[in-house]
Structure 1
Amino acid sequence: MSVAPKASAPAWPISPEGGWTADDPDRLPDLPPHTELIDGSLVFVGPQTLFHSRAVDFFNWQLQSPAPAEFEVVREFTIDIDRQNRPEPDVIVVHGDVVEDPERTRYPAEAVLLAVEVVSADSVSRDRETKPLKYARAGIPHYWRVESEKGLAAVHAFELEPTTGAYTGVGIFRERMKVSAPFPLDLDLTGIKPRRGGA
């Protein structure tokens, strides 16, 4: 008589009293890729759509050339907000001096000029509500939220208002994104599509 082996349940880390801290993701073994720390809780990222992948690729590459020489463009890298928050924006523009250490696993929020988040089905409230508040409080000057409108990109751009410490909207861009800050950009957003030109 054969007995089917029992399926082992995933051994998820159990949160310590008071929650996880920003140092813990570097010490915990076998965390899924792109795990974030939000309010002391580990957030596991769900499967991503093709739009998400293409949008992240687009902004990662399209920001490289126009970015001033003192900045670097980095995709999917965590940033330190505070002891209980270590989110991972999809793309960031950071001061170049922080990328010199090849062993670094995160960047300080004060080194970030721009954070870009591409909204997924499981990240809507985080990208629209939670993260903008945290990025603003950390003093990140610019935040872009990229939404899919039937497969076409709409970029909601925000800039930190220094007197209030909150983000203010500077525009919603479809098809073309032309801005002067954080540095001059003129992006053809219709480029976020299959290479063969399909939908």
Structure 2
Amino acid sequence: MDDEGLTPYPDWIRPPVGGYRAEDLDRLPDAPPHTELIAGSLVFTAPRTRWETRTTGLLHGALEAAPAGWEVWRSMTVVLDERNRPEPDLMVVGARADWGPKDTSCRAGDVLLVVEVASTESMERDREVKPRKYAAAGIRYFWRVENVDDRPVVYTYELDPATDRYTPTGIFHDRLKVEHPFPVEVELV
């Protein structure tokens, strides 16, 4: 087969011995948007569907009710440790004076809540892998949103400090109404 005209894979596609580190993510030339680092490996996410985009926007608007001193971020990564830097769909992050306009991530200790809007492609990571890693990093609240008959269903969790694991706090089908981490109420349509 003639390879003429084909572009070779970039060198960074082959991970270094021991895998990538969190700081490497900012130095990968031409990495696809929304590339995540999970256990030292690069994870390329599939394009978002209309349903995922709409659901993320709906929840983003609801989370804007965060108290003063907290910000809602989307499409940013969080450094959990040196080998894990996922990109939650949404995060509620404590405002810090030392953040600059070119920052591409935050630290897990600054995050109050992470929200993952699961897709077919990301379901296993969003149900099993990421919650374990978020809990191990000490992020207090986690919400997972799934598509059930083209409607969002929100599963909410809080970190149990005795076990360092998430405990379910609710399943919301038509309306999300919670008091923690702060009052949020939104119709899930």
Specify the TM-score bucket, using the shorter chain as the normaliser: over 0.9
2:72 alignment partner AA: V
TM (norm. structure 1) is 0.89
Aligned to 1:186: 185
Aligned to 2:23: 23
Question: 1:136–1:165: 8 Å Cα contact kept in structure 2?
Answer: yes
Aligned to 1:147: 146
Structure 1 runs, 4 residues or longer, greater than 4 Å off? none
Aligned to 1:61: 61
Write out aligned runs for 1:161-180 (5 A).
161-180=160-179
Question: 2:147–2:153: 8 Å Cα contact kept in structure 1?
Answer: yes
Question: 2:115–2:145: 8 Å Cα contact kept in structure 1?
Answer: yes
Give the % identical residues: 47
Q: CA 1:59–1:98 in structure 2 vs 1: closer, same or farther (change >3 Å)?
A: farther
1:168 alignment partner AA: T
Distance (whole Å) between structure 2 residues aligned to residue 136 and residue 154 of structure 1: 21
Distance (whole Å) between structure 1 residues aligned to residue 170 and residue 98 of structure 2: 30
Deviation at 1:122, TM superposition (A): 1.1
Give a deviation string over 1:129-170, Cα, whole Å, max 9, x none.
000000001000000000000110000100001111100000
Distance (whole Å) between structure 1 residues aligned to residue 3 and residue 39 of structure 2: 41
**Which structure has the bigger radius of gyration?**
1
Aligned to 2:159: 160
2:187 alignment partner AA: D
2:107 alignment partner AA: P
Deviation at 1:98, TM superposition (A): 6.1
- Structure 1 vs Structure 2 CA RMSD: 1.6
- SS of the equivalent of 2:163 reads coil
Aligned to 2:92: 93
Q: Count residues in correspondence.
A: 187
Structure 1 residue 37 and structure 2 residue 37: aligned? yes
TM (norm. structure 2) is 0.94
Aligned to 1:196: none
Distance (whole Å) between structure 2 residues aligned to residue 83 and residue 98 of structure 1: 23
1:106 alignment partner AA: S
Listed as ranges, the gaps of 5+ residues in structure 2 are: none
